[in-house]
Amino acid sequence: MICPAVFPPMPWRRLVGPFLFLALAGQTTLFAQEELAPAERRIAGHVDDRTPAAVALLESTVNQNSGTLNHAGVRAVYDMMAPQFEELGFEVRWVQMPSETGRSGHLVAERKGSRGKSLLLIGHLDTVFEPDSPFQTWVRVGDFATGPGAVDMKGGNIVILLALQALHDEGALEDASITVVMTGDEEAPGRPLEVVRRDLFLAGERADIALGFENASRSDGVDLAIVARRSWSSWLLEVKAASGHSSLLFRDEIGAGAIYEAARILDTFYEELRGEQYLTFNVGVLLGGTQVSYDAAQGGGTADGKNNVIPQAVIATGDIRAMTVEQLERTRDRMRQVVTRSLTGAQATITFDDDYPAMPPAPANYALLEQYSEISRALGFGAVQAIDPGARGAADIAFVAGTVEAALDGLGPVGEALHTVNERLEVTSVPTAAKRAAILIHRLTR
């Protein structure tokens, strides 16, 4: 059963509003404004004025390690960002996570108003690079920079800040209702999720529109944004089998051992379940032998055995990514059926854990993308199209996508090689993304 607090039901009644009606009626052009208003041209100019300082701040935050498990580092990035939002009139607070979650905390910044749509802007303070990583430093060469989190997601955080700074300089934040949530554990969420994502849930309940600033993508010169994301959940396979001298292998009283049974299960997953649109199921860790141990918190373990001893234990873990709850549950049922068909002498169990819900491709999301694309064209940057949902992973916006009228992600800068020591940012894409975001926010909050 999926926890409703973690995987909230899709409130279709809220989608039957202006965005959905206009999308279904083919009337999204009512939002169209192919030319910038004078105030919007000034906002774009404010972005240019603020960009050098914003990039300098980005460099500072990148050089501060904030791997998810580096609690002090995550807090240090908060300490860098919080004063910036306070200068814009936001009430900023640090939300400390309980010690049992094993995580640091979140940044929440709010401006309360009554004009236009209420917006939720989403980023995260942590990166995948812990203090023991060899990748720790910002290095810029021309229009590109490498560094841990330069794109994912410190670059996206700076886009949020730069867009809001430009709006503030124009006096366009007055009476706007905007909440910024930057989680401290997006790359490896703590548990329970209803605790570590509580403040994000609450912000989503108060918002009309959610905007995520994970990195943008580009294909054949066309920029892409995200109208849908697949869910991300995990599974754990445990196999027990009779052991003995390897000369007794395959006899009825002994069987094939735990590793052959695990191989049967995983191969059947591959043969019977793969190929369905938007569905993937990865095997991340596989341990087998006479003795195995697995540490979920560290994502690894140990295994030992001998070539002449039939292995009696296997532990395998992996993930599932699906577009809908129905697809996820159907896949889990099929995996359970495969597991029950055990080889002689072996017994296996599989358990599942929910992580990130899906962000379905609601019509209102496409309408919001069209408005964003119109802004991009008016700025001279060209159209923005929707990326294939199967090309991107899960993200925090999915936790609130089911409670807002519309959601759009991928509004951050362009980069490549994320989650690797070659992560590289296209620095010139920072002001581009900030201009698009600032004008979208301006129009939504009129």
How confident is the model over 408-418, as pLDDT tens digits?
999 999 999 99
pTM of the model: 0.85
Looking at the structure, tell me whether residues 51 and 178 fall in a common domain.
yes
- Kindly state whether residue 5 falls inside one of the protein's structural domains: no
Q: Provide the pLDDT for residue 389.
A: 85
How confident is the model over 344-365, as pLDDT tens digits?
999 999 999 998 999 999 999 9
> What's the whole-number mean pLDDT along residues 89-103?
97
How confident is the model over 108-123, as pLDDT tens digits?
999 999 999 999 999 9
Say if CB 88 and CB 168 are below 8 A apart: yes
Q: Provide the pLDDT for residue 393.
A: 80
Q: How far is CA 29 from CA 19, 100, 122, 371, 434, in A?
A: 11, 50, 27, 8, 23
Strand order in the sheet with 231-241: 280-289, 313-322, 231-241, 346-356
Q: Provide the pLDDT for residue 1.
A: 33
- Kindly state whether residue 121 falls inside one of the protein's structural domains: yes
Looking at the structure, tell me whether residues 440 and 411 fall in a common domain.
yes
Confidence of residue 299 (pLDDT cuts 50, 70, 90): confident
Q: What stretches of 210-322 show up as alpha helix (H) in DSSP?
A: 258-273
Looking at the structure, tell me whether residues 306 and 289 fall in a common domain.
yes
- Kindly state whether residue 2 falls inside one of the protein's structural domains: no
Token digits for 141? 């060469």
Report long-range pairs for 167-173 (Cβ below 8 Å, ≥24 apart): 167/43, 167/46, 167/438, 167/441, 167/442, 168/88, 168/89, 169/43, 169/46, 169/49, 169/50, 170/39, 170/42, 170/43, 170/46, 170/442, 172/39, 172/43, 172/442, 172/445, 173/88, 173/89, 173/111
Q: Which of 356, 383, 416 is the last residue of a domain?
A: 356
> What's the whole-number mean pLDDT along residues 164-183?
98
Confidence of residue 296 (pLDDT cuts 50, 70, 90): confident
What is the CATH number for 261? 3.30.70.360
How confident is the model over 386-403, as pLDDT tens digits?
999 888 888 999 999 999
Q: Provide the pLDDT for residue 4.
A: 39
- Cα–Cα dist 353/375, whole Å: 40
Q: Provide the pLDDT for residue 434.
A: 98
Looking at the structure, tell me whether residues 122 and 258 fall in a common domain.
no
Q: Which of 356, 371, 400 is the last residue of a domain?
A: 356
Bridge partner residues of 408 (DSSP): 211
Side chain identity at residue 204, one-letter code: G
Looking at the structure, tell me whether residues 256 and 307 fall in a common domain.
yes
Full residue range of the structural domain in which residue 260 is found: 231-356
pLDDT averaged over every residue in the chain: 92
How confident is the model over 302-328, as pLDDT tens digits?
999 999 999 999 999 999 999 999 999
- Cα–Cα dist 218/226, whole Å: 12
- Cα–Cα dist 280/266, whole Å: 13
- Cα–Cα dist 49/54, whole Å: 10
Looking at the structure, tell me whether residues 25 and 170 fall in a common domain.
yes
3-state secondary structure of 151: coil
- Cα–Cα dist 176/292, whole Å: 56
Inform me whether the pLDDT recorded for 30 exceeds 60: no
- Burial class of residue 122 (count of CB atoms within 10 Å of its CB; 0-12, 13-18, 19+): buried
Q: Which of 356, 376, 409 is the last residue of a domain?
A: 356
Looking at the structure, tell me whether residues 326 and 396 fall in a common domain.
no
What is the CATH number for 140? 3.40.630.10
Looking at the structure, tell me whether residues 219 and 297 fall in a common domain.
no
Looking at the structure, tell me whether residues 171 and 224 fall in a common domain.
yes
Looking at the structure, tell me whether residues 41 and 165 fall in a common domain.
yes
Inform me whether the pLDDT recorded for 288 exceeds 70: yes
- Kindly state whether residue 3 falls inside one of the protein's structural domains: no
- Kindly state whether residue 111 falls inside one of the protein's structural domains: yes
CB neighbour burial string for 428-446, b if at least 16 within 10 angstroms, e if fewer: ebbbbbbbbbbbbbbbbbe
Q: Provide the pLDDT for residue 33.
A: 57
Looking at the structure, tell me whether residues 27 and 123 fall in a common domain.
yes
> What's the whole-number mean pLDDT along residues 6-15?
39
- Kindly state whether residue 1 falls inside one of the protein's structural domains: no
Q: Provide the pLDDT for residue 16.
A: 37
Task: Quickly tell me which residue has 């490498």 as its tokens.
Answer: 146
Looking at the structure, tell me whether residues 280 and 415 fall in a common domain.
no
Say if CB 214 and CB 410 are below 8 A apart: yes
Inform me whether the pLDDT recorded for 7 exceeds 70: no
Total structural domains within the chain: 2
How confident is the model over 219-250, as pLDDT tens digits?
999 999 999 999 999 999 999 999 999 999 99
3-state secondary structure of 336: helix
